[in-house]
């Protein structure tokens, strides 16, 4: 059988980029006025280019630079082997310098997966263009749908004017959302107004409140205010495990029957793991549990499922890779779990990656995917970014990821990154303007201090 010649990878460019963010509060503090990401742009001998995006950290950049020689020169047809070599490097990190002269220092597993995910996405984008197929068709289940439900991700927003940081002031010439997302929203009414503006512009049917900011009682009141305003919406809260098990059970019983699930309501405490406490929470309340904290790799997922601790693993394409996250979706379908997807602040390349993951997820047990895009909307790095309409993220048309980089915008975002004095994420910086000597505490909401 004659096989067509396969393109060869002839370039791989690693481009750290930055954009602007609002002063969004979470258990880790306040989002910086800037957020950073990494684009991996891979070119082949057929003249095509593919792109992937992942979170940015100095160690991730270092890994990507070290992985470049393993990608350049490889055959696109053999992308499975190429990606497998990256994972083999992880497994043999202690002896890699002797075995293949690629020295990879002690790896943070999260940063390794971020790097591998960006490379894999770029290769899938290239392969899709070569075969004239969308990435969703290249994932094991194939394309199941052309749009996926996404939720309105709501935050409490601190007052940027209390800082000397370069937060944006908002746009008054567009829909109300683009102004409100930069204004303080610290109480129930302001969060409800945010939700109204987000629904008006994007059509959301689902909302999630990022908790871990106020005392749990106050955040439950915010959820109840949202439920009163949007009686047909599916609304939940993610306190990032800042509630104790006893608190979580109490709040859960208060919300039982009115929320579709709770995300990481409690975590490790008193010698018990987060998987154990979440299992106890589920038994005590009957509320389904979503997580992106205690089932973030195959070993963690195995233990979480053995303990019946979770119902919705939020496996996103940046912390699992696209194909691994799709495998999680397949397991959810076969085992009666619900497919979901975690998000952090991102550009539109990531939005396309999420769209293809959701489009290929099998079955009907899919909860609305997370996305921060509504907070970054307008800062696109592609010519035609994916769109959220009527509460759904639409799959881009065209082969591969269906997007084309706008290199003028990419270079501007790279220049902004280069100008930043602190390039790694640090949500404590903004909090210092609100609370003197503020420090992160995994078991204490951000504004709850002695």
Backbone φ and ψ for 55, nearest 5 degrees, come out as -60, 155
Q: Quickly tell me which residue has 């992308």 as its tokens.
A: 79
> Looking at residue 5, what is its pLDDT?
82
Distance (Å, whole) CA 239 – CA 109: 24
* Six token digits for residue 245: 């098990």
192-203 pLDDT, tens per residue?
999 999 999 999
* Six token digits for residue 281: 């929470």
32-77 pLDDT, tens per residue?
999 999 999 999 999 999 999 999 999 999 999 999 999 999 999 9
> Looking at residue 450, what is its pLDDT?
83
User: Has residue 2 got a pLDDT over 90?
Assistant: no
> Looking at residue 247, what is its pLDDT?
98
Domains (range + CATH), the chain: 8-90+108-132+408-421 (3.30.390.10), 147-401 (3.20.20.120)
> Looking at residue 4, what is its pLDDT?
57
User: Has residue 279 got a pLDDT over 50?
Assistant: yes
Q: Left if phi > 0, otherwise alpha if psi is -120 to 50, otherwise beta: which for 26?
A: beta
pLDDT > 70: percent of the chain = 95
CB contact set of 37 (below 8 Å; sequence gap of 6+): 16, 17, 18, 19, 53, 54, 55, 56, 346, 347, 350
DSSP E strand stretches across 334-423: 388-389, 392-394
Q: Which of 168, 150, 133 is nearest to 24 (CA)?
A: 168
To the question of whether residue 406 is assigned a binding role by annotation, the answer is no
pLDDT band with cut points at 50, 70 and 90 for residue 184: very high
> Looking at residue 93, what is its pLDDT?
52
To the question of whether residue 345 is assigned a binding role by annotation, the answer is no
Distance (Å, whole) CA 310 – CA 267: 12
Q: Quickly tell me which residue has 């082949």 as its tokens.
A: 44
> Looking at residue 175, what is its pLDDT?
97
Report the number of secondary-structure helices (H) and strands (E) in the chain: 16, 14
Average pLDDT, the chain: 94
Distance (Å, whole) CA 344 – CA 293: 13
The conformation of residue 405, written as its DSSP 8-state character, comes to: B
Distance (Å, whole) CA 104 – CA 74: 20
Distance (Å, whole) CA 446 – CA 17: 28
| Lowest-confidence segment of 95-104, 170-179, 235-244, 298-307 by average pLDDT | 95-104
CA dihedral for 374, 377, 383, 388, sign (positive or negative) = positive
Catalytic residue ranges: 210, 342
DSSP percent split of the chain into helix, strand, coil, nearest 5:
40, 20, 45
Supply angle C-alpha 332, 396, 384, rounded to 5.
Answer: 140
> Looking at residue 89, what is its pLDDT?
74
To the question of whether residue 238 is assigned a binding role by annotation, the answer is yes
User: Has residue 99 got a pLDDT over 80?
Assistant: no
* Six token digits for residue 230: 């949007």
DSSP E strand stretches across 165-233: 206-210
User: Has residue 367 got a pLDDT over 90?
Assistant: yes
DSSP, residue by residue, 270-317: TTB-HHHHHHHHHHHH---EEESSS-SSHHHHHHHHHTT--SEEB--T
Cβ–Cβ < 8 Å for 401, 135: yes
End-to-end CA distance of the chain: 73
User: Has residue 106 got a pLDDT over 70?
Assistant: no
pLDDT > 90: percent of the chain = 93
In angstroms, what CA-CA distances link 436 with 165, 425, 429, 450?
16, 20, 11, 12
CB contact set of 173 (below 8 Å; sequence gap of 6+): none
User: Has residue 3 got a pLDDT over 70?
Assistant: no
Distance (Å, whole) CA 342 – CA 367: 11
Rounded average pLDDT over 156-167? 98
| Lowest-confidence segment of 92-106, 211-225, 250-264 by average pLDDT | 92-106
Q: Which of 151, 125, 153 is nearest to 139 (CA)?
A: 125
């Amino acid at each position: 059988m004659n096989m067509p010649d396969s393109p060869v990878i002839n370039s791989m460019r690693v481009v750290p980029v930055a954009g602007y963010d609002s002063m969004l509060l979470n258990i880790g503090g306040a989002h910086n006025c800037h957020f950073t990401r990494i684009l991996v742009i891979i070119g082949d001998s057929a003249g095509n280019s593919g792109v992937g995006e992942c979170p940015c950290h100095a160690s991730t950049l270092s890994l990507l630079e070290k992985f470049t020689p393993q990608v350049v020169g490889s055959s696109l047809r053999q992308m499975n082997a190429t990606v497998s070599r990256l994972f083999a490097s992880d497994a043999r990190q202690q002896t890699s310098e002797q075995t293949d002269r690629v020295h990879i220092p002690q790896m943070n597993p999260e940063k390794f997966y971020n790097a591998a995910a960006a490379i894999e996405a770029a290769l899938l984008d290239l392969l899709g263009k070569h075969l004239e197929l969308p990435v969703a068709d290249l994932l094991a289940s194939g394309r199941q749908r052309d749009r996926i439900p996404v939720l309105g991700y709501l935050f409490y927003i601190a007052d940027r004017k209390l800082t000397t940081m370069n937060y944006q002031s908002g746009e008054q010439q567009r829909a109300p959302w683009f102004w409100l997302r930069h204004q303080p929203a610290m109480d129930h009414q302001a969060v409800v107004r945010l939700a109204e503006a987000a629904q008006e512009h994007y059509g959301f049917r689902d909302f999630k409140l990022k908790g871990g900011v106020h005392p749990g009682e106050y955040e439950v009141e915010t959820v109840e205010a949202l439920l009163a305003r949007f009686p047909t919406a599916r609304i939940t809260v993610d306190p990032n495990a800042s509630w104790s098990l006893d608190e979580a059970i109490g709040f859960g019983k208060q919300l039982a029957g009115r929320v579709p699930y709770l995300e990481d309501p409690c975590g490790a405490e008193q010698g018990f793991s987060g998987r154990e406490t979440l299992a106890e929470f589920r038994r005590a309340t009957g509320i389904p549990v979503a997580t992106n904290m205690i089932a973030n790799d195959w070993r963690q997922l195995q233990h979480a499922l053995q303990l019946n601790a979770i119902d919705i693993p939020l496996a996103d394409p940046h912390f699992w890779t696209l194909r691994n996250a799709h495998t999680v979706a397949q397991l959810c379908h076969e085992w009666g779990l619900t497919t979901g997807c975690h998000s952090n602040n991102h550009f539109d390349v990531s939005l396309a990656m999420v769209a293809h993951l959701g489009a290929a997820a099998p079955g009907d047990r899919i909860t609305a995917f997370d996305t921060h895009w509504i907070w970054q909307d307008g800062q696109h790095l592609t010519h035609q970014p994916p769109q959220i309409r009527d509460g759904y993220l639409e799959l881009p048309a065209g082969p591969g990821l269906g997007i084309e980089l706008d290199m003028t915008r990419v270079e501007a975002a790279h220049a902004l990154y280069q100008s930043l004095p602190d390039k790694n994420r640090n949500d404590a910086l903004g909090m210092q303007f609100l609370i003197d000597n503020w420090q992160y505490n995994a078991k204490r909401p951000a504004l709850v201090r002695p």
